[in-house]
Amino acid sequence: MALLADRVESVPCPQCGDSIDVAQEKPFTVVACKSCGRHVRVPVAIGPLLVRGKLGLGATGIIYAAHDRESDRPVAMKIITTSSDTSDEDRQKLIDKTLAEAEALKAINHPNIVRILRIGEHAGQPYILMELLSGGSLQDLIDREGQLDELRALELTIGVADGLRGAASIDLLHLDVKPQNIVLDGAGSPKLLDFGYGQDAEAAARDEIPGTPFYVAPELVRRLSPTIQCDMYSLGATLYQLLTGRFPFEGRDVKETIFARLGVVAPNVRLRRGDLHFLTGSAVACMLYEDPEERYEDYDSLIYDLQRARDAVKAQSKT
């Protein structure tokens, strides 16, 4: 689906302030200011937004980096997209569900969920405006560091679990918890984004295996009804990766990776990293039980155990 946007005639150079003529330039290409040589990306306009390029692809749309001229700040903008063979009726259903989810998330305004700023429309194309986070994703952190300090990994996971608890309070599942969907703000706090699969959890589980192979819960592989324990499992796989730099289950291809978690006990995280506290190992094991009924009953219980592990690690470091 093409981005419905207006061309921009000129943009101010952020370095010298001179106007740069971009009327004939292709959107999202980079041009140089003739006065100072500063490179600038050519934007397009969507209402009050100057859209500067793609940030990534979510479950239900494309995320763009933009500048909101009304508030004079950088933002992220989500355009809802569907495949070319999607019927008009199904597309409208997806739009309605995505916008309803955004309204719900805007209402809870949880510190560990990306903040929804406003919902708008341009040329019949709805968009969702969100805070633009500057700290990169947890996947970026793993790529840089391999494995994280135990205390840092636990603190991040507690924050994400609290965000999931907030979403669960309005009966919203995520169903694609993974490091790529957890982004850090400027202070280093984690924020969940992209609840696309969770908009219609039952339909997602019926039509496909929602989520990502390395993190998906076994019951979703079996096409059972999703619950909060699905997100707990994916968060457990994420914590496992934060602590070890590895996935709990891996295969030679997608299918083998997905089915590797069925009928077996998840590998003990402390066997892959022996310096971890036993409370950390216990929490990870409980999150990764194959049977969802053996996992934590609710997020209060999960967060309590993660906090116990965090406090034990803190105390251990002082001795």
Q: What is the rounded distance in angstroms from the CA atom of residue 161 to the CA atom of residue 248?
A: 19
Provide the residue count of the chain: 319
96 has catalytic annotation? no
At residue 267, what is the residue type? P
Q: What is the rounded distance in angstroms from the CA atom of residue 310 to the CA atom of residue 63?
A: 34
* 273 contacts 244 by C-beta, under 8 angstroms: yes
Q: 204 — phi, psi (to 5°)?
A: -60, -40
Catalytic entry in 68, 162, 176, 305: 176
- Write the DSSP assignment of 285-309 as a string of letters: HHHT-SSGGGS-SSHHHHHHHHHHH
* 286 contacts 305 by C-beta, under 8 angstroms: yes
Residue numbers annotated as active site: 176
